[in-house]
Amino acid sequence: MNTNTNIRAKLLISCLDRPGIVSTVSTFLHQYKANIVQSDQYSTDPSGGMFFMRIEFDLFEDSYEFNIVRQAFSEIASSFDMDWSMELASRRKKMAIFVSKEDHCLLELLWKWRAGELMVDIPLVISNHINLKDDVEAYGIPFFHIPVNKANKEEAEREAISMLHKYDVDFIVLARYMQILSPDFVGTFPKKVINIHHSFLPAFIGANPYAKAFERGVKLIGATAHYVTNDLDEGPIIEQDILRVNHRYTTEQLRVAGRNVERIALSRAVTWHANDQIIVHGNKTVIF
């Protein structure tokens, strides 16, 4: 076969585990002349647990169109009561970035995007401060300043939501955006807002984690990337990373080391989300 005519697609599935799921899905793809190039699966318990699956497959120009295959799969999904998604691998998700004053996570994402390591489009960056406007616009990305205070918070969120809809954004990354999002905002983008928390959750929830870590004399510091829910800092964890420290580290040295860990954990989480490698189930994630 001429690989130049391949159309790569990705299928994510979650449902109650029972016999015949893998066979049925494989048979379906075979009927539509698809070639499975990668398949991963996981069951919490083969006897009535939850089943998760991710498949990458190729369609060919001389067989069936992608939209026909996706529409036909809905019958299979209904028969197993699946939560599922099927996307073209070539479709680049539109990622909005929210940021405040700290630039390390923002610049990490922008650098990876420009280097071609993060396969997304970034139609806009929104900030409640003006500080990083020049940095963002140097990458040719529109920067929007939406100030937030106690008096205008609801109005500011409505403005941000309107802009996200205008740019048809697929998901949002909070790159050290130091505002708590309202339930209305979170409910508008369920499982589509990724936050980086500047500590190894569930330890040191809230503000000033490095001061708290210093006071406790910790030997490890970390960062946690997670989906945002209405429970502060308790959404499904996507990625965590740690760095060993010792008694010689000051609060500021802990903060500097922590920024390095934050960049790594966030960029991994964003990459996995952009590549359709994550399935959210309850307050946990399955990552293939």
For 7-34, what is each residue's pLDDT tens digit? Answer: 999 999 999 999 999 999 999 999 999 9
3-state secondary structure the chain: CCHHHEEEEEEEEEEECCCCHHHHHHHHHHHCCCEEEEEEEEECCCCCCEEEEEEEEEEECCCCCHHHHHHHHHHHHHHHCCEEEEEECCCCEEEEEEECCCCHHHHHHHHHHHCCCCCEECCCEEECCCCCHHHHHCCCCCEEECCCCCCCHHHHHHHHHHHHHHCCCCEEEECCCCCCCCHHHHHHCCCCEEEEECCCCCCCCCCCHHHHHHHHCCCEEEEEEEECCCCCCCCCEEEEEEEECCCCCCHHHHHHHHHHHHHHHHHHHHHHHHCCCEEEECCEEEEC
Is the pLDDT reported for residue 149 higher than 70? yes
Mean pLDDT of the chain: 92
How big is the CA angle at 269 (ends 267 and 270), to the nearest 5 degrees?
Answer: 65
Least confident of 13-17, 72-76, 214-218, 225-229: 214-218
- Predicted confidence at residue 200, as pLDDT, reads 63
Active site residues: 233
Tokens of 265: 């954990």
Alpha carbons 221 and 200: distance in angstroms, whole number? 7
**Amino acid symbol at 78:** S
158-198 pLDDT tens trace = 999 999 999 999 999 999 999 999 999 999 999 999 999 88
- Predicted confidence at residue 276, as pLDDT, reads 97
- Predicted confidence at residue 220, as pLDDT, reads 81
pLDDT bin (cut points 50, 70, 90) of residue 202 is: low
Is the pLDDT reported for residue 46 higher than 90? no
**Amino acid symbol at 49:** G
- Predicted confidence at residue 2, as pLDDT, reads 46
pLDDT bin (cut points 50, 70, 90) of residue 210 is: low
Tokens of 211: 């001061």
Using the Cα atoms of residue 228, residue 233, residue 237 and residue 243 in order, give the sign of their dihedral: positive
266-285 pLDDT tens trace = 999 999 999 999 999 999 99
